[in-house]
Amino acid sequence: MQRYDLRYLKNDFYDKMLEIMDKKVAPKECAIIMFEIGDFENVQKSADVIYEAGYTLMNSIKFNEVDWTLVVKKEKPEPKVVETSEEAGE
């Protein structure tokens, strides 16, 4: 497992994150990706980008006041479960 610091890219880290996962991480291996939170939307968007690219988000945590850390596994994620209104008790 290796750490990749993408904080210097501010809000434009998504392409670099996917490039790292595609080219530098071996199948079934994990990478630690650090980025600057900036706009809090980056946290949810990063999770969505990882899922859509076909990787598994293992962990997503606030590292300090301005930085966020993702642990991403180069492995296909489990399918998202969509809860229907009947299952929610409505």
pLDDT at 85: 65
pTM summary value: 0.84
Question: By the 8 A CB rule, do 71 and 83 touch?
Answer: no
The domain of 21 spans 2-73
Q: Give me the mean pLDDT over the 12-32 stretch.
A: 97
Question: Is 68 within a domain?
Answer: yes
Domain count, the chain: 1
Question: Is 79 within a domain?
Answer: no
Question: Is 57 within a domain?
Answer: yes
Question: Is 86 within a domain?
Answer: no
Question: Is 14 within a domain?
Answer: yes
Backbone angles phi, psi at 75, to 5 degrees: -155, 145
Question: Is 78 within a domain?
Answer: no
**Residues 32-87: tens digit of each pLDDT:** 999 999 888 999 999 999 999 999 999 999 989 899 999 999 999 888 777 776 66
Q: Is 13 exposed, middle or buried (0-12, 13-18, 19+ CB in 10 A)?
A: buried
Question: Is 81 within a domain?
Answer: no
